[in-house]
Chains A and B, each alone.
Chain A
Amino acid sequence: MELILLFFIFTLAGFLGFELIAKVPSQLHTPLMSGSNAISGITIVGAIIAAGADDGSWITTVLGTTAVTLAMVNVVGGYFVTDRMLGMFRKKDAPAKKEGGAS
């Protein structure tokens, strides 16, 4: 990957991020935070490459496996807890008691 292309993507993604989130009702602040937190678990991609690249060094394997585990906790925990939270936000006459056994 050409370096300059990465910077290009970086700049555009930055502006896009600002545009996307500019107006969010405070109602959704927590789900937005935990949902975007789950996205930051994307670092798992780097972790998988480190853990799976069999380069004969136990250090990178240990580090990679630890990173995969941590990032996976971040991803799975983040997405599912966000879903659980959003499942509780309901309209007045929406079917009550549908909490998926949680809480």
Chain B
Amino acid sequence: MNREIVLNSAYIVASILFILGLKMLGRQSSARSGNLISGLGMLIAIVATLLDHHVVNFTWIIVGLAVGTVLGLACAYLVKMTAMPEMVALLNGFGGLASLIVGAAEFFRIQNGTVAPEHGTFTATVIYLTILIGGVTFTGSVYAFCKLAEWLSGKPILFRGQHIVNGLVLAGTVVAGIAYVMSGDSGVQVAAVAAFTLGALVLGWTLVMPIGGGDMPVVISMLNSLSGVAACAAGFVIGNNVLVVAGCLVGTSGVILTAIMCKAMNRSLANVLFSGFGAAPAAAAATAGEGAITGELKPISAEDSFAVLEAARSVVIIPGYGMAVSQAQHVVRELAEMLERNGAEVRFAIHPVAGRMPGHMNVLLAEANVPYEQLVEMDAINPLMPATDVAVVIGANDVVNPAAARDKASPIYGMPIINAHEARTVICLKRGKGTGFSGLENQLFLLPNTRMLYGDAKASLQGVVAEFKSLAGAA
């Protein structure tokens, strides 16, 4: 009895530390200590569980903890910052799979008769939910990982009747789940559990399949939420309060992040998940709607870009996924420093869904030592855009497309954008003449004050920086 009190007190302390940690993670000044505090909570929860009287054999636990620690540290310190989106996706997947296995292990313990749940039907139901959510989280995250790491194509994959297939798989897991919960026969139960486990794994894969690279910020935050929900469901399976609290906190925070991402694209979650957005070049792109801009693309050389930037007093740099692809963040910072030395005011405008995960650009620029005061959010930078001399768009596309504000026929109409087009001059760095993720021709590129600097972003910027250096050398 005493032990039980100690154990639960430790779980309460752990829950408090998780809550404080999450709260502190929301503020710049306290974020790092918040993470440490939440880590301390985890440590307390783990140590307390080792003292649980149900735990009698430590050999395999120690093996698991040791192997997991080594692999986790390797992940944390060897991964490059540019590979952060796929890293987060993979860790998510591991969490989901772990919850699935906890559910499955409890199922086998009930089968063996080592555990006799007080509320049999309820426990069976939550075992089903744990395995379903954990399975979807696992394969969904692995698929997202493969897309982000470019092991598989990042393009949305659609096939005829996709929604029907997904619906049937989901219905199948529900039927198997009901069979498991209702049946008293252990043979039927094993078969049903095997069936819905398999169904959940298939479902995770096919759900992420039609979602394209540009929508990955939504998918990653949603999977993050699901991994929390899976842990929460596992908490109901084994009747453990700290799992319920922590899982629920992660689940809701993930929901909020998902909602923020959807709002930043002016699309509903259902639209992101099911529409296969970006799969086909949108028809509206060809037949430009009312208010569309016509014109032609005007290329610019690195030398001329230098001349424009050299004269500029205020510069706003708008990074996008292209900056991550060409790993241009360090040379971007170098350019920003040179512009500042030249007397210009330099800011970075960050769109909430730029890149492949929430906050992707912030992480990359932080890695390149850009101070965070220079990173400005979309709502704060837009009023300043008309007074900006030069906007430099680095591998961003849809998030600066003025069609989102003006062209009602555009599929991205209504999406909040960074108003790059209001700057006096816009320089767009772009690899080629292709369209962005949405498959749309960007009307920003056609504006009279826009110049296109073609080529790899890193190489182009190095060209501009070299011009600045030669000037400094000459002076």
Query: Are the CB atoms of A72 and B56 closer together than 8 Å?
Result: no
On chain B, the residues within 8 Å of A82 by CB distance are 35
How many contacting A-B pairs (Cβ < 8 A)? 407
Instruction: Give the residue among B56, B238, B244, B375 with the most A Cβ atoms within 10 A.
Output: B244
- Kindly state the separation between the CA atoms of A30 and B353 in the bound complex, as whole angstroms: 11
Interface size class of A (residues with CB under 8 A): 35 or more
Given A48-B46, A48-B55, A103-B367, are A40 and B362 also a contact pair (CB < 8 Å)? no
Q: Is the CB of B36 within 8 A of A60?
A: no
A21 and B253 in contact, given A67-B101, A68-B65 (Cβ under 8 angstroms): yes
Taking the nearest CB of chain A, how far is it from the CB of B8, in angstroms? 9
Given A22-B256, A77-B75, decide whether A30 and B360 contact each other with a Cβ distance below 8 A.
yes
B39 touching A38 by the CB < 8 A rule?
yes
Give 1 or 0 for each of B121-138: 1 = CB within 8 Å of chain A CB: 010000000000000000
Once the chains are docked, how many angstroms separate the CA of A65 from the CA of B25? Answer: 31
> Quick one: CB contact mask for B346-380 with A, threshold 8 Å, 1 for yes?
00001010000111101100110101111101000
Mark out the residues of chain A between 60 and 82 whose CB falls within 8 Å of any chain B CB in the assembled complex: 60-61, 63-82
When C-beta atoms are compared, the residue in chain B nearest to A76 turns out to be: B72
B186 lies within 8 A of chain A by Cβ: no
Q: How far is the CB of A64 from chain B (nearest CB, A)?
A: 5
B19 contact set on A, CB distance < 8 A: 16, 20
Chain A residues in 8 Å Cβ range of B91: 34, 37-38, 73-74, 77-78, 81
A23 to B379: give the CA distance in the assembly, Å: 14
By secondary structure, the A interface counts as: helix
Task: State the interface size on chain B (CB cutoff 8 A).
Answer: 116
Given A28-B26, A83-B32, decide whether A33 and B239 contact each other with a Cβ distance below 8 A: no
Q: When the two chains form their complex, are residues B92 and A72 in contact, meaning their CB atoms are under 8 A apart?
A: no
Contact B122 A3 (CB under 8 A): yes
0/1 interface trace, chain B 242-279, chain A, CB 8 Å (1 if under): 11111111111111110010000000000000000000
Which residues of B pack against A, CB within 8 Å? 18-19, 21-23, 25-28, 31-32, 34-36, 38-39, 42, 45-46, 49-50, 52, 54-58, 60-61, 63-65, 67-69, 71-73, 75-77, 79-81, 84, 87-88, 91-92, 94-95, 97-99, 101-102, 104-106, 108-109, 112, 114, 118-119, 122, 220-221, 224, 227-228, 230-232, 234-257, 260, 350, 352, 357-360, 362-363, 366-367, 369, 371-375, 377
Given contacts A6-B235, A80-B76, 4 further A-B contacts (CB under 8 A): A20-B22, A40-B231, A40-B250, A49-B49
Closest 7 CB pairs of A and B: A72-B68, A76-B72, A17-B252, A68-B64, A29-B359, A52-B55, A80-B76
